[in-house]
Amino acid sequence: MGFRSSSLFSASLFMLLPTAVAWGGEPPKPTQVKVAAVQMLGYDKTDLPRPGFDPSEAVVRYVEKAAGDGAQLVVFPEYLLGRISVPGPQTERIAGAAAAGKIYVVVGCWEVSEDGSFANTALLFDRSGEIAGKYRKVHAAVDHSEGQPPWSSPPQGKDDEWYSTNDPEWKMKRGDEFPVFDLDFGRVGILTCYDGWFPESSRILSLKGAEILVWINGRKGTVEDFLVKSAMFQDEVAMVATNQAYGSGTTIGQWPAEILAVCKEPEEGYVIATIDLGRVRKARLNSRNLRQRRPDAYGEIVKPIATDGPPGPGKP
């Protein structure tokens, strides 16, 4: 009996450790977090503002729905609000809905500065309606220019208007960091579309403590479930991925690689699910693959490769 009592005590202590250790004695954060994801149409990559078209009005309706459904966070796609000033009428409208519903909101836009420069930005609104954070897309999803080194330089002989309406990511202000935002239910990192094709992106966010990766997209085709699953498994995170409604694959998933909800068809959709962050925290506390990394052997990862052919031995 003494042995069994000791075992039960040890098991109970083990179950308490993830919260106590992960949050350094602070009040424990909830382990069950309900999140919503919206697949809808808005402005696309090259769209210019159109009179009478303001996706923020539909965003507000979905924010209200998600809050009414008890979600703590609702996520929208990339580019959605179009080319806007931040703050501005669109963000003020969404801020009001976030504050009224006491819900976090992530939504994509082209953030235009006073000097005319622009960035592919994901905006994070907190429960009071404040813009609590911004993430600027790091990896530009640009097209290849025929007759030039692949994917490495913009088309020549084009003016700013051409870039703006044909391939604006050549000229956008790219981000150069992967911030993690500490929300009241957990830590969230954001990726935008092409960022998710680079495993370094999700790994950096994981190493910085992100528990949920928000991955916003605006592209035809589907958000790849194998990328969602591999990121969740390898980086020990949950995930909320969105896409515009001309594509599909808006997904909510949790560690280790479980898809909880998905929009399978290229049409407007809304999914909601409860993520168990206790799984992530327990996995992190007892992680093998994060603790047994060999950064000293990974030098090639941060070296540029040649632009005139495939990477390989002896190439910079």
| Residue-range domain boundaries for the chain | 31-142+154-293
**Which amino acid is residue 57, in one-letter code?**
E
The maximal CA–CA distance of the chain, rounded, in angstroms, is 83
Q: Alpha helices, DSSP H only, in the chain?
A: 2-22, 56-68, 89-101, 160-166, 199-207, 225-235, 277-285
Q: What pLDDT does 150 receive?
A: 60
* Structure-token pair, residue 35: 């999140």
Q: What pLDDT does 13 receive?
A: 36
Lowest mean pLDDT among 29-33, 60-64, 122-126, 266-270: 29-33
Domain covering 31-142+154-293 assigned CATH 3.60.15.10 in the classification? no
Find the mean pLDDT for residues 278-303.
Answer: 92
Per-residue pLDDT tens over the stretch 227-266: 999 999 999 999 999 999 999 999 999 999 999 999 999 9
Mean pLDDT across the chain: 88
The upper half-sphere exposure of residue 41, i.e. CA atoms within 13 Å in the direction of its Cβ, equals: 6
The whole-model pTM stands at 0.87
Lowest mean pLDDT among 62-66, 131-135, 158-162: 158-162
Q: What 3-state DSSP class applies to 229? A: helix
Q: What pLDDT does 310 receive?
A: 64
Is residue 31 predicted with pLDDT exceeding 60? yes
The upper half-sphere exposure of residue 204, i.e. CA atoms within 13 Å in the direction of its Cβ, equals: 16
Q: Where are the beta strands (DSSP E) in 51-168?
A: 73-75, 83-84, 104-112, 118-125, 131-136
Find the mean pLDDT for residues 98-121.
Answer: 96
Burial class of residue 184 (count of CB atoms within 10 Å of its CB; 0-12, 13-18, 19+): exposed
Is residue 269 predicted with pLDDT exceeding 70? yes
Please, which pLDDT band fits residue 6 given cuts at 50, 70 and 90? very low
DSSP 252-295: EEETTTEEEEE--SSS-EEEEEEEEHHHHHHHHHT-STTTT--G
More confident residue, 257 or 161: 257
Q: What pLDDT does 17 receive?
A: 37
